[in-house]
Amino acid sequence: MRRFSSISKDPDLPGISRYDPQASNSTQSNGIQLNPRGLVPTLHFQAEGVDEYLVESGLIVEFLTGLYPSHLTPHGGNPVADAAQRWRQRFFTDTWFGKVNPLLFKMTGTSDEAARLSIANDITEQIGKEIEPLLANAGPYFGGSSVITVVEAMTMPFVILMYDFCDDVVWPSILLEKAKAFPAFGKWIEVGMKHGSVLYRVARERRKEAVLNMLPQVRQKYAP
C-alpha cells in the first residue's frame, strides 16, 4: 500500500482508480470476488483492451513505471546508460527489502528489549554495509537525481517508520540515532521523508497511535 500511494500522486502517471479492501463498504460487495486473498492495494487498470485487477504494491509500481516512463526511472537518453541506472535502482530496492526490511518486522515482533537492541544493531550494520555505499552519489535523491525516483517511492515509506517508531517503546531509539549517523543515508532520509509523494495518504500520528494501542497484537502478528 505504502509504495503504491507514493507513485499514485505522481503527475506523470495517468489517473487511476483502485479498490482497497481495507476500506470496503456495502457498495463494494464485489470486493471478495475481485480480490479473494485480500491483498492491498488492488489497482483496477483499464486501457487499450486490457481490463485487469493488479495486486501488491511493489509489482504495481513496477508495472506503472514500465508502462508510463517518467522521472521516476530513466528513459529517453542513452539506452545502455538508462538500463544500467534502472538496474541500480532495482538493486537498491531489492537490497533494502532483502536485507533491512525483514529485520524491521522481526524487531517489531520481538517483545524482549535486549533482543530488540540486538536486532537494531544488526539493522545498523546492514545499513552501513549494504545501503550506505549505494547512496554515495545521492544528490539529493538516488543516483544523483534532482527529483524523486522510484527508489524513494519504493523504500522511503518504510524508512520513515524509523522516525515514527524509534521511541524505545516500539523500536529502540538508538536505531534511528545510528542510522542517521551514516553521512549519505542520513542526508538521503532527511530529504526524502519530506517529499509530498512519500507522505501522500500517510497519517503518521494516527498510524503511530494505532500501533501503540494495539502493540501486543502487533508484536504477536510479527513474532518470529
pLDDT in tens, 60-113: 888 888 888 888 899 888 999 999 999 999 999 999 999 999 999 999 999 999
pLDDT in tens, 138-191: 889 999 999 889 999 889 888 988 988 999 999 999 999 999 999 999 999 998
The 3-class secondary structure across 121-155, one letter per residue, is HHHHHHHHHHHHHHHCCCCCCHHHCCCCCHHHHHH
Domains and CATH numbers, the chain: 88-222 (1.20.1050.10)
Amino acid at site 64:
L
Q: What is the pTM of this model?
A: 0.80
Cis peptide before 41 (omega within 30 of 0): yes
Edge-first strand order for the sheet with 17-19 is 17-19, 42-47, 50-55
